[in-house]
Amino acid sequence: MQRRTLALALDLGGTKVDAALVDSAGEVIAGTVHRAPTGRDSTRESVADAVRHVTAEALADVLPDDRLIGIGIGSAGPVDLARGTISPLNLPAIAGLPIVALVQELRPGVPVRLALDGACIALAEHWLGAAAGSRNALAMVVSTGIGGGIIIDGAPVSGLSGNAGHIGQLRLRERATGEPATDGTLEALASGPSAVAWARANGWAGSTGEELAVAYREGDAVAVAAVRRSAGAVGEAIASVATLLDLDVAVIAGGFSQVAADYLELVRAAAAEAAVFEYARRVRVVESGLDGHGPLIGAAALVLR
């Protein structure tokens, strides 16, 4: 067997942590993906144990002839690159978790690199996905939360602390449903749980994003309004970023972006409506060019690229 050059990729989010081996071509090695649950009610130690568990499982998949050149970690933020710590908004119990040191204990001597999960998505999309070849790009994940990463002049932007691209915390006005303007972050307006909560507050009887998707397909008025509200907020945020950074492309990934077959069409329409200048309207809004392994590929890119 040919010797493989590998990175171990770790992706930590609000509901799960994944680890896998990724080769130099950006391929996630079959059979090496390991997952453990997280969650808002998780304790600090349970999340640390989950990180140790999936990392150890992936390390056990490294063959004797393989060359493991590093470990890349993508995490929900904020992150602190200087300290190697994370404080995910959706995991309050682990604020300040020293994840770099925790992982280094399992494989001393192997370099470990940390980045915001949105930055990892941007890296992956620019390397192998829908933003390949673009000069200025935004990559977004619309899921339990909303994260993002930015590519400028063909290079990722991390910022002083590592948190550049945190698009989910932009403050917007609601525009998708004709309601009075209200203050709120993009994540509070457009994430999956936020859309479900809004629908329930307006009389919808369901409780999950999956149920909201079914209700949308069936034409339930509240479900339709909830999905359009989410897509409208995402489109408005893209228009703002496109105006600021003169984007070529905005890539959208994440489970909630699949809630409706026309979700991206709704986002495109909202982005075009919200943009003031013509150059901001030219941004292409596209779905991810990667499968669900995008976050892992991006974390691996921290080492491989």
Residues paired with residue 152 on neighbouring β-strands, in sequence order = 155
pLDDT of residue 174 exceeding 80: no
Whether 127 maps to a domain, the answer reads no
pLDDT of residue 260 exceeding 70: yes
Structure tokens of 105? 């204990």
* Total number of domains constituting the chain: 2
Asked if residues 190 and 230 have their Cβ atoms less than 8 Å apart, the reply is: yes
59 and 183, same domain (yes or no): no
pLDDT of residue 287 exceeding 80: yes
Rounded Cα distance, 211 and 223, in Å: 9
pLDDT in the model for residue 182: 44
Sheet (strand 137-142) strand order = 155-157, 146-152, 137-142, 249-253, 284-287
Going by pLDDT thresholds of 50, 70 and 90, the confidence category of residue 176 is: very low
pLDDT of residue 284 exceeding 90: yes
What is the distance of C-alpha 94 from the center of its chain?
19
139 and 277, same domain (yes or no): yes
Rounded Cα distance, 30 and 92, in Å: 33
54 and 148, same domain (yes or no): no
Asked if residues 245 and 219 have their Cβ atoms less than 8 Å apart, the reply is: no
pLDDT of residue 118 exceeding 70: yes
Where do the H-state alpha helices sit in 202-246?
209-217, 221-245
| CATH number, domain with residue 254 | 3.30.420.40
Please indicate, yes or no, whether the overall pTM of this predicted structure exceeds 0.75. Answer: yes
Q: What is the CA radius of gyration of the chain?
A: 19
Going by pLDDT thresholds of 50, 70 and 90, the confidence category of residue 180 is: very low
Going by pLDDT thresholds of 50, 70 and 90, the confidence category of residue 291 is: confident
Going by pLDDT thresholds of 50, 70 and 90, the confidence category of residue 302 is: very high
Whether 34 maps to a domain, the answer reads yes
Domain containing 256 equals 133-287
